[in-house]
Structure 1
Amino acid sequence: MIGKLKGTIDEIGEDHVLVDVHGVCYVAYCSSRTLARIGSAGEAVVLFIETYVREDQLKLFGFLSALEREWFNLLQSVQGVGSKVALGVLSTLTPSELANAIALQDRTSISRAPGVGPKVAMRIVTELKNKAPAFAGEASAGIGLKQELGEGVAAAPVADAVSALTNLGYSREQAANAVAAALKAGGEGADSARLIRLGLKELSR
């Protein structure tokens, strides 16, 4: 079992990278987001690896972070999501964006990924909503509030403030992040007008 590769980039393909480790080149399949950030041929690279062993093949999948690898496996626990679709989702959304989308039950964002239709997006949101907070990464601070918004149980001032900000053209995730920051600044008892004002201040930074 290969858990990590440390070597030099030999070649970058459309969906994979060849990593030269002391003269042996390993093929690691990656998301397009990872391939775009990995560097260029001749540069050093470290990839977290998920190894798939089948009767007729051995396949390596590479990730720039352990969290991305965790999401790759988590996504495949959903019916209808295989390795190709999981990489497609991770090509479209970062781990924190994915956690936010699931918390907010934002099926539209998830369905932008190649191979993900409305039904699969619904299953991802439904089946992973209780698991997402543990893998939220940078988004973990406001994930609870986003879950409340997604489930329709957020306090009225919070829901109203998020709605007002989205009506101004901000995405639901941007609005939720701004209101989460506004709650810290304004306190739990802040009314919607104050949350909107503080949220807009946060968004203008």
Structure 2
Amino acid sequence: MIGKLKGTVDSQGTDFVILDVHGVGYIVYCSTRTLRALPPPGEAASLAIDTQMREDMIRLYGFASDQERDWFRLLQGVQGVGSKVALAILGVLPTGDLALAIARGDKTAVARSPGVGPKLAARIVAELKDKTATLGGGEMPGEVLASTPALPLQADDAVAALVNLGYGRPQVMGAVADAVSLLGDEAGTAALIRHGLKRLSS
């Protein structure tokens, strides 16, 4: 099984890259987001790999990070989500945005992905809501934190308290953000925790 490839970008197609590793050209299927992030032909690149074997073929899927690969695998555990749909979702939503959307129950965000209708989006959110914390320690990538509205200082205390109770950080971030939106920036830590717990248990 191949878990990682490091080589030189040879060329790209609409949904794949050919990575030259010591003279061997590997066809690696990637999300549009990963393809856009790759350097131009002739430059070095490294991809985390998921190897899928069937009776008639072996197919390689490449990712910018181990966390993205883990999300790819997790998504395919949902009925109706195959490799093509999983890549489409990851092409539209960075892993942190996907975790936040699932934590908030935001079916609309997930449904923006090609091939994902409202029913499938609802199934993805429902089935993965309690599993996102297992990915990368449940941390939110910096790109998502940077795009998330700044929360008051007491919200950090509320997040820490809820994480200590065993909830995953992505779910907690979404719950506390919702609490701040509802109660306002002046809400105290206790109130944020109380409303956060209500959101997490719903």
Q: Normalized against structure 2, the TM-score is what?
A: 0.74
- Matches for 1:137-152 after TM superposition, within 5 Å: 137-138=139-140, 141=169, 143-147=171-175
- Matches for 1:18-57 after TM superposition, within 5 Å: 18-57=18-57
8 A Cα contact 1:33 1:91, kept in partner: yes
- The amino acid of 1:143's aligned partner reads Q
CA distance in 2, matches of 1:58, 1:51: 7
CA distance in 2, matches of 1:133, 1:27: 31
Deviation at residue 143 of structure 1 after TM alignment? 3.1
- Matches for 1:81-92 after TM superposition, within 5 Å: 81-92=81-92
CA distance in 2, matches of 1:108, 1:53: 33
Equivalent position of 2:58 in the other structure: 58
- The amino acid of 2:174's aligned partner reads K
CA distance in 2, matches of 1:99, 1:91: 14
8 A Cα contact 2:16 2:27, kept in partner: yes
CA distance in 2, matches of 1:148, 1:76: 29
CA distance in 2, matches of 1:133, 1:141: 7
- The amino acid of 1:18's aligned partner reads I
Q: Where do 5+ consecutive residues of structure 2 fail to align?
A: 142-167, 193-202
CA distance in 1, matches of 2:107, 2:44: 37
Deviation at residue 144 of structure 1 after TM alignment? 1.1
- The amino acid of 1:160's aligned partner reads L
- Matches for 1:1-205 after TM superposition, within 5 Å: 1-135=1-135, 136-138=138-140, 141=169, 143-147=171-175, 158-161=180-183, 187-189=188-190
CA distance in 2, matches of 1:120, 1:134: 22
Aligned length: 164
CA distance in 2, matches of 1:159, 1:134: 27
SS at match of 1:138: coil
Deviation at residue 87 of structure 1 after TM alignment? 0.1
Deviation at residue 133 of structure 1 after TM alignment? 2.3
Q: Deviations over 1:80-127 (max 9, x none)?
A: 000000000000001100000000000000000000001110010000
Question: Judging changes above 3 Å, is the alpha-carbon distance between structure 1 residues 142 and 62 closer, same or farther for their aligned structure 2 residues?
Answer: closer
Equivalent position of 2:153 in the other structure: none
Q: Normalized against structure 1, the TM-score is what?
A: 0.73
CA distance in 2, matches of 1:33, 1:14: 11
8 A Cα contact 1:95 1:137, kept in partner: no
Question: Judging changes above 3 Å, is the alpha-carbon distance between structure 1 residues 25 and 141 closer, same or farther for their aligned structure 2 residues?
Answer: same
CA distance in 2, matches of 1:90, 1:97: 10
- The amino acid of 1:138's aligned partner reads M
Deviation at residue 148 of structure 1 after TM alignment? 6.9
Q: Where do 5+ consecutive residues of structure 1 fail to align?
A: 163-181, 192-205
SS at match of 2:189: coil
8 A Cα contact 1:6 1:46, kept in partner: yes
